[in-house]
Amino acid sequence: MATRKRKVRKLRGSRTMGWGQVGQHRKSGGHGGTGNAGLHKHKWSWVLVHDPEHFGKDGFHNPTGKKIKKWINIEEINYLLEKYQPKTTRDGLPVIDLRELKIQKVLGKGNLEKPVYVIAESWTKKAEEAIVKAGGKISVN
């Protein structure tokens, strides 16, 4: 049975193997760059047909891990007492509401000089011990 020659056999000895002028099929010149070069430029029509979702954001990035709490140390509460001189009292103690100052957490570094009633979203055990030791109280509201 007679069969046609494959292109590769037919073009043997033809110097350029069907690629036109010598050099047109060499290296990366004349192809619009290597790899993904030009996808936003001269290969844009290719992107539209073959890979339309190549560009742009995709998916959901959970922001909960990026939440940064603002915090304050016990020693800085002494400074707040002097600076703001709170007029409101609760249980006979001056009240410092850290929620108003956009501070979420109280840390336990330092000592408290005066008893104070602290309102905060969260605090450490060491901070609570320091406040109670000074004769103060801490609560969420």
Q: What is the CATH number of domain 7-58?
A: 4.10.990.10
Phi then psi dihedrals of residue 96, to 5 deg: -115, 115
Structure confidence at residue 84 (pLDDT) = 86
Within the chain, where are the H helices?
Answer: 7-10, 44-50, 74-84, 125-133
Structure confidence at residue 100 (pLDDT) = 92
Q: Between 33 and 125, name the one with better pLDDT.
A: 125
DSSP 63: G
Maximum mean pLDDT: which of 11-25, 53-67, 117-131:
117-131
Domain boundaries defined on the chain: 7-58, 71-139
Query: Rounded distance, CA 104 to CA 4, Å?
Result: 81
Segment 16-60, tens digit of pLDDT:
999 899 888 887 677 788 889 999 999 999 999 999 999 998 888
Task: Name the pLDDT band for 89 (thresholds 50, 70, 90).
Answer: confident
pTM of structure: 0.53
Structure confidence at residue 39 (pLDDT) = 95
Using a pLDDT cut of 90, give the percent of the chain over it. 58
Q: Between 125 and 61, name the one with better pLDDT.
A: 125
Q: What's the whole-number average pLDDT of the chain?
A: 90
The arrangement of secondary structure in 71-139, i.e. its CATH architecture, is Ribosomal Protein L15; Chain: K; domain 2 (3.100)
